[in-house]
Amino acid sequence: MDTFRDLGLSEVMLKTIAGKGFGEPTAIQQAIIPFLMDSRRDVVAQAETGTGKTAAFAIPILERLGNPDGRVKALVLVPTRELAIQVAGEIRSLCPGRRIQVVAVYGGQPFAPQRSALKHGADIVVGTTGRILDHLEKRTLCLKDLTDLVLDEADEMLDMGFVDDIAAIMAHTPGGRRTMLFSATMPKEVLAIARRHMGAYETIATGPENHARRLIDQVYVEVREQDRFEALCRIIDREPGFYGLVFCRTRTETVSVADMLLERGYAAECIHGEIEQAERERIMKRLRSRQTTVMVATDVAARGIDVRDLTHVINYDPPQDPDSYVHRIGRTGRAGRTGTAVTLVIPRERRALDLIRRTTGKAMRRGGVPAVADIIAARRARIEEVIRQVMHGEDAGPYALLAASLLEGTEPAVVLASCLRHAYGDELDPKAYREIRALAPQAESKQHTRLFVARGRRHGMTHRNLLRFIREHTGVKERLVKDIEIRDDFAFLTVPPAEAALIQKRFGRSGGRPLVGIARPGQGRKMAG
């Protein structure tokens, strides 16, 4: 099915789609739309953000909605406030001229305006699980007429600990509703939700490596820890139109990295979980308008960010697991454009990198830190291109007489060089970059200790819970805890030796059995077996 017309859509919808500038349907749209149009069966679909999945489920819902009556027929659950706003906006854009009320409800905003919007009638509700539950408990939201339930980015919702909220919301929905579950990855926890809460469902995937990810050049660069920021700056400087996300592990690090980038003159900002919603929306507006070209973010804060033209994703810290890696890099290489994902790795993080490379099934190529000479050459070429465009596109006007005066008795090259230095400052000065020393992986790796924790997902352990638990009970700072891996029955983490001794002393035994100990080769495989 090469066109939207082949999908059996109405003329009104086809006109709307054409007006939005959609060309051919994406792979997930080709697979999902006909299925949802012709069947009332539940569906579990593997699809990443940026592949057109919102339109894939919204178009069939709107086509089958009929005459709107203000009673909620469709509910879309999403993991973040940002995504709730974006999905609601996308659905509204697909029903111009129709009196369909799409209401977004999410935390971080006053309850009363959302209650008022629901009271005046809502045909489709998009919301985060916590605020949806609030409205259900206060009886300001009724789902008795619901026909369609969408779980969007289900793996993200599970990672954020929303599984109980999802179950509680489903208990308020009628048994005859259709459920659509969308997830970028398919861990067994996601499939468990499908088995437990959905009827006979169809599984649809466009392949383990969709078209969007094939457009992403994936690179890893090994650096010393003290050279990580310098490497980041060189990567940004090498690219003429850098417009991307830089991922850090902690809120503190996002602030620190963004501040250092600002000091160097980059149009950078940071976003993290403690930023108020109003300020977050202002930050996102600046990013979309390219007033900000480098956004530093944590995984949690970046969930829901959907900016199509991002050229790069930089993993300043490697992600904690392959699923997080998939979500991170999926924010570039969208809508048929190419993108670049660069992961900076220090020696002790090599194990995390190896895990990502094994489980994603995508060979990441090894790259190097851009040489200063290459950066200077690229900048020189850009300056020359700008000047030549000005020369051919604008009249020298009032500057012609001044130029003639300056050239009297002076070498033209000297005059031009002086003008360029005044305009571009030290942009071509290699001294602006400090030397990056060669790696010493063995010496550096001895400075950290790998710990085994006898608690995992089955015990409610998450990345966030583990960090908070360690901080509250030992005082060890989050930035010192690296390479966290959460498995079903156990977890791993890496800390400096002194902190490792402190954690072991605090949690060494629980009920006679060691809760935390030094990780040994094959320990995880042995327990899993």
The CATH architecture one would assign to domain 211-369 is: 3-Layer(aba) Sandwich (3.40)
Model pTM? 0.51
Sheet order of strands, 449-453 included: 482-486, 491-495, 449-453, 516-518
- Beta partners for residue 183, in sequence order: 46
Q: Which residue has the higher pLDDT, 316 or 500?
A: 316
Fold of domain 5-205: Rossmann fold (3.40.50)
Residue 187 is encoded by which pair of tokens? 């861990």
Strand duo 102-105 + 124-128: pairing: parallel
Q: What per-residue confidence (pLDDT) applies to 524? A: 54
Kindly state the greatest CA–CA separation across the chain: 90
Confidence of residue 444 (pLDDT cuts 50, 70, 90): very low
Q: What per-residue confidence (pLDDT) applies to 177? A: 92
- Beta partners for residue 450, in sequence order: 494
The CATH label, of 1.10.10.10, 3.30.70.330, 3.40.50.2300, 1.10.150.300, for the domain at 448-528 is 3.30.70.330
Cβ–Cβ < 8 Å for 77, 152: yes
Confidence of residue 57 (pLDDT cuts 50, 70, 90): very high
- In this chain, the answer to whether the domains covering 5-205 and 211-369 adopt an identical fold is yes
How does DSSP assign 314-345, residue by residue?
Answer: EESS--SSHHHHHHHHTTSS-TT--EEEEEEE
Mean pLDDT of 442-456: 69
Q: Which residue has the higher pLDDT, 371 or 75?
A: 75
Distances (CA, A) of 104 to 58, 81, 124, 506: 14, 9, 9, 45
414 CB-contact burial (10 Å; exposed 0-12 / middle 13-18 / buried 19+): exposed
Domain ranges, ordered by start, for the chain: 5-205, 211-369, 373-432, 448-528
Closest CA to 10 of 32, 33, 30: 33
Question: pLDDT of 152-189, one tens digit each?
Answer: 988 888 877 888 899 999 999 998 899 999 988 787 88
Residue 363 makes CB contacts below 8 A (sequence gap 6+) with: 357
